[in-house]
Amino acid sequence: MAPISTASLPDIIFMLLFFFMVSTTMKEVTFKVQIRTPEATEVEKLEKKSLVTYIYVGVPLKQYQSMFGTEPRIQLNDAFATVNDIQSYIASEREAMKESDRPKMTTSIKADFDCPMGVITDIKQALRQAQALKISYSTRKVEKNS
C-alpha cells in the first residue's frame, strides 16, 4: 500500500493558523481579582474593542489577600486602585483615544456576581463625575427559560 501523502498537511495547518491569528485577541491584563461573571438574558454586544475601557471589581485572588484583604477591590489595568483613582484613569484613557472616538467611549464594569452594590455605586458616581456616562455591565448571556 502506498503511504498517504502528507504534502498538503502544512497547508491545512497554515489555514488553521491563519484562522486563529485573525480571530485572536490577546488578553490585555492579568486578573488580580476573582471575577465570576453574572448572568443576564438581554445583553448587547460591545461594538468596538478600542472604544471600551474596563474596570474590574472583585475579591483579590489568594496570593494578594495578605496585602489587600478579602473585601472586593477595584482593579484598573494591572494594579489595584481605589474609587478616587477612577477619574484620572478615565481621563488618561480618554486622552489616549482618537478625538472622534471620545464621545463613543464605553466603560465596561466587570464585576463578580457576589459583589455588594456599594462598591459598584461608588464607581458609578465616580464615572458620572468623570463624564463617562456610557456604561455596560459585563454579563454572560443565558437563554430565556420561559
DSSP 70: S
Distance CA 56, CA 117 (A): 14
Is 52:28 a contact under the CB 8 Å cutoff?
A: no
Cα 130 to the center of its chain, rounded Å: 19
Residue 37's nearest CA partner among 116, 108, 112, 136 is 112
Is 137 a residue that touches other proteins (CB under 8 A)? yes
Using CB under 8 A, which of the segments 44-52, 74-82, 83-91, 97-105 binds other proteins?
44-52
Is 135 a residue that touches other proteins (CB under 8 A)? yes
Which of 4/26 has CB closer to other proteins? 26
Residue 90 C-beta: closest distance to other proteins, Å:
12
Distance CA 35, CA 60 (A): 9
Residue 105 C-beta: closest distance to other proteins, Å:
12
Which of 92/121 has CB closer to other proteins? 121
Residue with cell 465570576: 36
Give the one residue of 1, 3, 30, 44 binding other proteins; rule: CB under 8 A: 44
Going residue by residue from 102 to 131, which x/- string records binding to other proteins, judged by CB under 8 A?
----x-xx-xxxxxxxx-xx--x--xxx-x
